[in-house]
Structure 1
Amino acid sequence: MSYKTFAAIDVGSYELAMKIYEISTKNGIKEIDHIRHRIELGTDSYFTGKIERARVDELCRMLNEFTAIMKSYKVDGYKAYGTSAIRESQNRLILLDQIETRTGVKIEVLSNSEQRFLDYKSVASRVKDFQSIIEKSTAFIDIGGGSVQISLFDEDSLVTSQNIRPGVLRMREELARVSYRSYQLEDMVEEMVYDSLESFREMYIGDKKIQNIILVDDYVSLVVQRNYLEMIKKGQVSTESFLNFVDSLKKKKTREIAMSLGLAQENISLLYFSALMLKCMIKVLGAEMLWAPGVSLCDGIAYEYAEQNKLLSSGTDGMPHDFEQDILDCARDINRRYHSIEYRTREREMIALTIFDSMKKKHSLSKRDRLLLQLAAILSECGRYISFANIGDSSYNIIIATEIIGLSHVEREILANIVKYATEKFDYYKILDSTASLDRESYLKIAKLTAIIRLSEGLDLSHRGKCSKLKIVNEEDELLLIVETNADMTLEFGLFDRYATFFEEVYNIKPVIRQKKSNI
């Protein structure tokens, strides 16, 4: 049987972890080793902006050991990702270059949305349990060292995803600067997170009841997985049982907790902070069931590798979860938040995708680029909420300021620029490069997708569904857009050149609109 051996490395804010996997289409993703090393990189970067030399030396020493372990397993590939501790380091590029020079390990830094999406994938890959749980209103809570991500699901759809600070390590370090007694800790934790949680509840939940919580973290999940609480089923406990467990921790000393739970004593402080934060979230959200599947970022990295190398099988639990649909759901939630009219963007979305699909041989764009185009069509009018006169700039600012789970920062910047230039004068590379961190490839992608969005707008000026039946024919130097409708298209014919000129410049193809009268 053919399989791949893969190593996933998570350079986290308070721990360095590596998992070794065997991955095959027949047996799926099988973990065969797990190595963890406690190193609090975030203690430095969160508060001084740099990781001190002694910790860098320790990190490099451990990465060299990881490299030796990978060689012993003869891994076919590896991925090493850094999260918020490295992301927030002021000298990140220097640090990454130094680590690669000393260890040979190339660390890629994830944006927050990319990191949370991989955590989310690690849970969603457990298709049967995940799908059954999110059919009911569910909060997906991902507690990290720097921040917490809360994503809401309802009827199998992602409703919203928001990032809240602080995370457990950042909170512990902030409170280390405060003089308090142990009995005051729970109240202070609640005071630090309650306002954000209450605002989140009012904005996105209202009177609706959250029934389930899915938890991803490094400590509470471990306790739940080890059956220290009364189980509903493996990894699932009632929130009442969990709250009783948290209250029991108050009566014990650190050493006693560590011995009773089989954890290292140095991990107890972060366990307690994580548990107190989760208790506060349960009180605000009112959930009844807690599921801690016991997955980590490494599992998400392995899933991504298997996905990219076509090693995933639907297996016996059903088809893999549709992650792309979750990204689209997030965009539609942004639209609702800014009161965009859905039928207007739906028509433009359909036209843009039809044009894209008809030109596969001419635009050299990828499936991922198709998703960016679809997102641009959906979000093309969100800026109207701020300004009718400056829709492009307003939409750009909304998208740049809004985290879209599953998109990297660069992808979000590309998306924001496509939406901006759909209505604004296009800035050519020299100007665009001076205002954004985009390379030549990204610039060309923006130009090509903007041209399609503009052409879509030219066919949908009145937003009255005139182009619901659209056929596209590619000729040598023309793109025939044949619209079957009996509606009056005088406006579209009269102003079409204004929207087609940029398309012709980018693709060297002249778009031509034709109307075909229906026999009905």
Structure 2
Amino acid sequence: MARKFYAIIDVGSNTMRLVIYLRDKGGRLREVENVKAVARLRNHLTKDGLLSTEGLQTLLTTLKSFKEVAESYTLEEMVCVATATIRQAGNQEEIITQVSKHTGFDMRILSDHEEAYYGYLAVVNSTPVTEGITVDIGGGSTEVTYFKDRELIESYSFPFGALTLKQDFFKNELPTENEFAALRRYLLDQFKSLPWLQKKDIPLIGIGGGARNLVQIDQNLKEYPLAGLHQYKMKDSDLAFIKNYLFTLPMKKLQKVEGLSKDRADIILPATEVFHSLYDTMQASGFILSRKGLRDGVFFEQLTKDMGTSVFPNVLEESIQELINDYDLNVKQIQHVQHLAHQLFSQLHEKGLGSLKNSDWQEVKRASYVFNLGDYIDSEASAQHTFYLLANRTIDGLMHMERLRMALMASYKNKTIFKQFLQPYKKWFLKDEQKKLRLLGSLLKFCYSLDSTRRQTIQSLELTKEGHDLHITCHCSGEWMPEEYQAEKQKKHLEKSLKKTIELSFVENKK
């Protein structure tokens, strides 16, 4: 199958980017190239509101460079969009003409509503959040949206960004205490002007480079053991700590902070204050990073134009389908194991065994899709590969803790290996939670052993309690000897978790 590449150029007020995507078998876009240029076009707007000759030259030189990179791919589509600085420039028609003349790009200037909308679209199509407020700080504008039940309710573009706030409030590279306090008062007044931002108690979702740097700093300070930035969650105290920590540093030290891009060192403080002031205005329930932003939103709209809606029905289902495609997983086997696992889970639940809750089933079902996907790499070290791949791969629709829980269940091999995988995250779980994860992992492992030959021989399960022991009757169609061998071998993990002896019997299904 021919590989299909798509490209987007995002002309921002602070940075310009070229991103190349590869469309995978499932139709999703995977980033394969990301080229950034710190053009700071905002600094080239004259007092009359025109992009200066020097600014136009910077824009054209950067676009020509991007064009050269893009030409090394056979592209299905190339999109070039511009935001606040070009939108606010009085000579935008001349800019569009010059860009077309020198590069051949048909540059589209996004309205403030479009810019906000694409940020919202990226968030609802790549996170599990159903109600939240998004904030995207650019160099020259800040877009906020409010969505509920994944539908856009409100959007607004504030005429300030990280660069303009720095220019308007700081005399030097770094602010004094008074300047920083004045900035906070201004931002609180601005955010209070929108009634729909008040006292929401819902997540604040940050988009863009400032939010990304903030999360990277937090992860480095905490020596965070999980990989990935997307869907990472911070609290109010985390935001306040980082803001105060950065404020104490001179520029030379600020430029060396782990996780902070050197080219953002002089604008990270205004960006951080925007997040913190908005968080306080909302009385948010948490700060979540979305690595997907405007560029992704533009392509989500393109990809879904034949669907009648730009919002994917289920973010997590899309991600799981992506994993199934990537690791060539056996869908027929997955569905059959889910059927057996649900029967066993339900009967354990009915008998009050294992302290199971209805919500636990959703986690088991989720992990059943990807159980031992590490087989794809190496069957001998399948558990290790499974855990590493799931714990360190961004899965849209799963917060970091949910992803870790899924990785622990889907990679379950035995108690020793489970403890080994859990070790860096041990403090994240109560002892009862650890026991529950072990039980759910061993249940899944046992049910997969009941379809070890992928023939769906075991049709159904019947659980009975006999004194302190459990008896599982497996109703079969066809020869069950390989499944019996594997089940007898694997039941010990379930026995240890339940603290029960399990007797197995295999009978021919009379139906």
TM-score (norm 2): 0.56
Conserved? CA contact 1:225–1:293, under 8 Å: no
Aligned to 2:38: 38
Indicate yes or no: 2:191 matched with 1:194: no
Q: Which 10-residue stretch deviates more, 303-312 or 169-178?
A: 303-312
State the SS of the aligned residue for 2:304. helix
Q: Kindly state the Cα deviation for residue 25 of structure 1 after the two structures are TM-superposed.
A: 4.8
Aligned pair 1:170/2:156, yes or no? no
Q: 255-264 or 24-33, which moves further after superposition? A: 255-264
Distance (Å, rounded) in 2 between the aligned partners of 1:319 and 1:97: 40
Contact preservation (8 Å) 2:5, 2:74: yes
Matched residue, 1:271: 268
Q: Which residue of 2 aligns with 1:149?
A: 143
**1:448-475 CA deviation, whole Å, 9 max, x = no partner?**
xxxxxxxxxxxxxxxxxxxxxxxxxxxx
For 2:164 and 2:118, how far apart are their aligned partners in 1? Answer: 21
What residue is the counterpart of 1:204 in the other structure? 196
For the pair 1:218 / 2:217, whether they are aligned, the reply is no
Q: Indicate the percent of aligned positions where both proteins have the same amino acid.
A: 18
Deviation at 1:53? 1.3
- Please list, as runs of the form range in 1=range in 2, the aligned pairs for 1:253-272 lying within 5 A after superposition: 253-272=250-269
Between the aligned partners of 2:74 and 2:149, the Cα distance in structure 1 is 43
**Paired residues of 1:306 and 1:312 also in contact (CA < 8 A):** no
Q: Secondary structure at the match of 1:151?
A: strand
| Alpha-carbon separation, structure 2, partners of 1:196 and 1:49 | 23
Match of 1:305 in 2: 302
Query: Which residue pairs with 2:116 in the alignment?
Result: 116
1:338-391 Cα distance to aligned partner (Å, 9 max, x none) = xxxxxxxxxxxxxxxxxxxxxxxxxxxxxxxxxxxxxxxxxxxxxxxxxxxxxx
Q: Does the Cα contact within 8 Å between 2:125 and 2:312 map onto a contact in 1?
A: no
The question of whether the paired residues in 1 share the 8 Å contact of 2:140 and 2:164 is answered with yes
**C-alpha offsets along residues 136-169 of structure 1, whole Å, 9 cap, x if unaligned?**
xx32222222222222234554442233332222
1:18–1:298 Cα contact (<8 Å) kept = no
Q: 1:248 aligns with which of 220, 245, 263?
A: 245
Q: Identify if the C-alpha distance between structure 1 residues 11 and 191 changes in structure 2 by more than 3 Å, giving closer, same or farther.
A: same
**1:5 partner amino acid:** F
Task: Tell me the equivalent position of 2:57.
Answer: 57
Cα separation, 2, equivalents of 1:181 and 1:28:
43
User: Size of the alignment, in residue pairs?
Assistant: 311
Shift of 1:19: 0.4
2:491 maps to: none
Q: Deviation of residue 44 (structure 1)?
A: 2.7
Instruction: Tell me: CA distance 1:237–1:52, structure 2 relative to 1, closer, same or farther (3 Å).
Output: same
Does the CA contact (< 8 Å) of 1:16 and 1:39 recur in 2? Answer: yes
Q: Give the whole-Å Cα distance in 2 for the aligned partners of 1:145 and 1:268.
A: 13
Q: Which residue of 1 aligns with 2:279?
A: 282
Q: Name the counterpart of 1:501.
A: none
Shift of 1:52: 1.4
Corresponding residue of 1:228: 220
Give ranges in structure 2 of 5+ residues lacking alignment: 320-511
Verify: 1:293 aligned to 2:285, yes or no. no
Q: Aligned-pair distance for 1:299?
A: 1.8
Contact 1:224 1:235 in 2 (8 A): yes
Secondary structure at the aligned position of 1:219 is classed as: helix
CA distance in 2, matches of 1:22, 1:179: 40
Post-superposition shift, 1:248? 0.7
Aligned-residue offset at 1:275: 0.2
User: Are residues 271 and 47 of structure 1, via their aligned partners in 2, closer, same or farther at CA, if it must alter by over 3 Å?
Assistant: farther
Check conservation: 2:197, 2:281, Cα contact below 8 A. Answer: no
Change (3 A) 1:181 1:148: closer
Give 1:126 deviation, angstroms: 0.8
Change (3 A) 1:58 1:28: same
Is residue 10 of structure 2 the alignment partner of residue 18 of structure 1?
Answer: no
> Which structure: larger Rg?
2
SS of aligned partner of 2:71: helix
Q: Which amino acid aligns with 1:228?
A: N
Q: 1:118 to 1:46 in 2, by over 3 A?
A: farther
2:65 maps to a residue whose letter is E
CA contact (8 A) 2:138 2:208 kept: yes
Aligned 8 A contact 1:2 1:24 in 2: no
Change (3 A) 1:46 1:112: farther
State the 1:42 CA deviation: 1.6
> C-alpha offsets along residues 191-248 of structure 1, whole Å, 9 cap, x if unaligned?
2222122232xx3356x44231111131222331572355799521122112111111
State how 1:355-374 maps to structure 2 within 5 Å: none
